[in-house]
Structure 1
Amino acid sequence: MAESSIVLITGGNTGLGYESVKALYASSQAHTILMGSRSLAKATDAIAKLQAEVPGSKSAIVPIQIDIEDDKSIEKAFQKVKSKYGRIDTLVNNAGSTFDSIMLTDPSPSGIRATFNKAYSLNVTSSQVMTHIFAPLLIASSDPRLLFVTSGISSLERNSSDENSNFVRGPPPKGWPKPPVPSQIGYRTSKVALNMIMLEWKKTFKVDGVKVFGISPGFLATNLGGMGPEFLKNMGAADPSIGGHFIRDVVEGKRDEGHGKVINKDGVMPW
């Protein structure tokens, strides 16, 4: 009997993280899924809900407390995983959010700083620290994969086109000051930076056999930024299970041709 793979997913108790755990739990392949969550109680509740939705799984789900903005929390989780398993086969850097609503309500310099600092701290710096600390456990795997959940709106090529600009009501009027627009600029630029981090880890792990991916899951009806699934559905967002199935395919080696790229369910996303 094949040994189950060990998959750690940050932010695994909600949204895309939850759907990724669920897809892996429902897989015909066996996995030990470490559901990372800032709250163990929330992880435990999410696991109970998931197990009721997917009975008879070959896999196991283990809650693990981890706040990726807290280095002590990451170190504690690392030591726990190291002592129990000695490796991880896949790290999914999923935890992240958008804070652009701050800038919409407070377009002053302090609002701009708060938006960007929060986005980069969570989406960029914390993913880098998380990967740095857990790197030894990835290298210990015989078939390791490292995933960074990015976004389709991080594509410079797409955003350079007027047709794909994020001014949902057209460009702002001439003159200054410009009225605030929901462009998600803080979130978008943090995900562009995350794409560069993915490329750097590809180079860093080149001789260690770690396959590294940027994951563009698509526009999904999660609770990103507290906007709520229903609000995003009304804007055309798809069911988040689509992203979960996509991440499962990457974890299970079905998208290895996209190693070192940002990929979506249809192929390689333009830079």
Structure 2
Amino acid sequence: MTTTIPTVFITGANAGLGFEVVKSLLASSKQSYRVLLGGRSFERATEATRILTTEHIPSGSRSTVEPVQVDLSSDESIEKAFETVKSKTDRVDVLINNAGGQFDSYAQDGKMGKREMWNLSWDTNVTGTHLLTEAFAPLLLASSEPRLLFITSGTSSIEEASRGLPYTAAKPPAGWPKPRSYEFTAYRASKAGLNMVMVEWKRIFQNDPVKLWAISPGFLATNLAGVGSDKLKSMGAQDPTVGAEFVRDVVEGKRDADVGTVIRRDATQAW
């Protein structure tokens, strides 16, 4: 990392994995950070910043946290976020594309039409993430050691899905209609698309010093699927701090040998 305090911009960080990633960065014994905490709601981002600042910055640390409003579904919001960050700093050393959503259950529960759900899944997890990365590219390239992280999913591997591994245990009976299920097809497809976005940015930045990865943080007990952390833990999900520490390890150089791939904590993930 740089000898000066690195600037990190992370989206979707007012709750869930993103919030835990910021906590983990603040707790780092290796480096202090200037974290720009992105959230769709400025009020929630501000409240998260208050909690992190008052409760999670160790004594003697030079780390800081600042809120930034950004909604990936809005081009105007992305542009305003860029201008806000640009007014605060001349570079972004680490861009963590964490914001995303799983909306399949909304359609299954009748809260949203199927086409609306699919479009929202791709707009949030793929299109918005790509456009935000494009907007922030100038600040990223202004860093001497830029890092670009995309938070993907272990369910996004096409190779593993084609072999029935993992997360594909459900085998519906023959006939139609199939029983109501929670297989998260739109989520999985959009995260597979996100992996391709990472590969495209690898191509785009091939002559620039940008290190980039797609990160599968593991099955974590967040509220991503609207299921609730307790139920997810009963299904084997790990505490979000486990995934957050993995992301921090990547930020701090522990997976530099795997640049340009989809990575899990203990391996690279099959395409």
In structure 1, C-alpha distance between the alignment counterparts of 2:129 and 2:108, rounded to whole Å:
26
Residue 228 of structure 2 corresponds to residue 196 of structure 1? no
Residue 110 of structure 2 corresponds to residue 102 of structure 1? no
What is the aligned residue count?
A: 267
Aligned to 1:235: 235
In structure 2, C-alpha distance between the alignment counterparts of 1:200 and 1:26, rounded to whole Å:
33
Q: In structure 1, give the amino acid aligned to 2:17.
A: L
Q: CA contact under 8 A between 1:216 and 1:263: conserved in structure 2? A: yes
Aligned to 1:85: 89
Q: CA contact under 8 A between 1:92 and 1:146: conserved in structure 2? A: yes
Q: Does 16-25 or 219-228 show the bigger shift? A: 219-228
Deviations 1:102-155 (A, max 9, x none): 332349xx8321221111010010001100100111111100011110000001
Q: CA contact under 8 A between 1:220 and 1:237: conserved in structure 2? A: yes
Q: CA contact under 8 A between 2:27 and 2:56: conserved in structure 1? A: no
DSSP-derived class of the 1:24 partner: helix
Aligned to 1:11: 12
Deviations 1:26-61 (A, max 9, x none): 112011011001222212221232231443233111
Q: CA deviation at 1:226?
A: 1.9
Question: Structure 2 unaligned runs (5+)?
Answer: none
DSSP-derived class of the 1:98 partner: coil
Q: In structure 2, give the amino acid aligned to 1:256.
A: D
Q: CA deviation at 1:81?
A: 1.4
Structure 1 stretches of 4+ with a deviation exceeding 4 A read: none
Q: Does 51-60 or 174-183 show the bigger shift? A: 51-60
Q: CA deviation at 1:78?
A: 0.7
In structure 1, C-alpha distance between the alignment counterparts of 2:165 and 2:141, rounded to whole Å:
43
Q: In structure 2, give the amino acid aligned to 1:76.
A: K
DSSP-derived class of the 1:148 partner: strand
Q: Percent identity?
A: 51
Q: In structure 1, give the amino acid aligned to 2:58.
A: P
Aligned to 1:22: 23
Deviations 1:156-211 (A, max 9, x none): 122122353524xx311211122222111110000000000000000000111111
In structure 2, C-alpha distance between the alignment counterparts of 1:163 and 1:69, rounded to whole Å:
32
| Structure 1 residues 164 and 248, CA gap change in structure 2 (3 angstroms) | closer
Aligned to 2:258: 258
Q: CA deviation at 1:258?
A: 1.3
Question: Structure 1 unaligned runs (5+)?
Answer: none
- Match 2:142 to one of 131, 140, 143: 140
Q: CA deviation at 1:222?
A: 0.5
Aligned to 2:66: 62
Q: CA contact under 8 A between 2:57 and 2:63: conserved in structure 1? A: no
Residue 33 of structure 2 corresponds to residue 31 of structure 1? yes
Deviations 1:38-91 (A, max 9, x none): 222212221232231443233111111111111111111111212321110111
Q: CA contact under 8 A between 1:25 and 1:58: conserved in structure 2? A: no
In structure 2, C-alpha distance between the alignment counterparts of 1:162 and 1:192, rounded to whole Å:
16
In structure 2, C-alpha distance between the alignment counterparts of 1:128 and 1:69, rounded to whole Å:
11
Residue 123 of structure 2 corresponds to residue 127 of structure 1? no
Q: In structure 2, give the amino acid aligned to 1:74.
A: I
